[in-house]
Amino acid sequence: MCGRRDAPSVASSSPHIQRAARGRPREAGRQTGNTPRAIIRAFPTDAQGGCVLAVVWQFDVQDGAEDEFEKLHGADGAWTALSRRSRSFLGSSFLKDLATPGRYLLLEYWSEMMVYEKHLADFSDHVDELKARRTAMVKETVALGVFDALDVPERYGPTWSVRDGR
């Protein structure tokens, strides 16, 4: 089903995404939804033939909280460690805006939307705890969307969170 135009829409199959697709106004210091609103139907494949989805978030971090925020979402941070517990998590890219202080993008790469949704449900207590920590550090969280990862880099190097065995 990967990459086929006739594949069922993720939006129609996921209650999490159906709620988020209705959209909510942005709120300061709060997340705009459980999952991003933009849903793409056809999924690409990576070099190994699997689907790759990119879940993209933007964060506007409070002055003085940047170091703590970077530790939470960095390659060795608690958020990434929790995501690694899922077989569908492929890695992440964590970007800091050079032009706008305190603005970050987090791109999480997942092979299966259903497993991503199950991961959020199975670890909801941990996810909620990490979101609460993050909320204390951010002015605004914006779910930018779920995207097809069209040109997927090798899973090595600085753009991917590297599993260090911890």
> What is the longest distance spanned by two Cα atoms in the chain?
48
67 belongs to a structural domain: yes
Q: How many domains does the chain have?
A: 1
CB of 47 closer than 8 Å to CB of 152:
yes
Whole-prediction pTM: 0.66
Q: Domain containing 127: what range?
A: 10-148
156 belongs to a structural domain: no
Residue 125 maps to which CATH number? Answer: 3.30.70.100
The pLDDT, as a whole number, for residue 88 is 87
CB of 130 closer than 8 Å to CB of 65:
no
Pairing of strands 138-148, 103-110: unpaired
The pLDDT, as a whole number, for residue 46 is 45
One-letter identity of residue 51: C
74 belongs to a structural domain: yes
pLDDT tens for each residue of the chain, 166 residues long: 343 333 333 333 344 444 443 443 343 444 444 444 333 333 344 445 557 899 999 999 999 999 999 999 999 999 999 999 998 899 999 999 999 999 999 999 998 888 889 999 999 999 999 999 999 999 999 999 999 888 765 654 444 444 554 4
Rounded to whole angstroms, the Cα distance separating 136 from 154 reads 34
Rounded to whole angstroms, the Cα distance separating 31 from 132 reads 10
133 belongs to a structural domain: yes
157 belongs to a structural domain: no
5 belongs to a structural domain: no
160 belongs to a structural domain: no
Rounded to whole angstroms, the Cα distance separating 161 from 90 reads 9
17 belongs to a structural domain: yes
Provide the residue count of the chain. Answer: 166
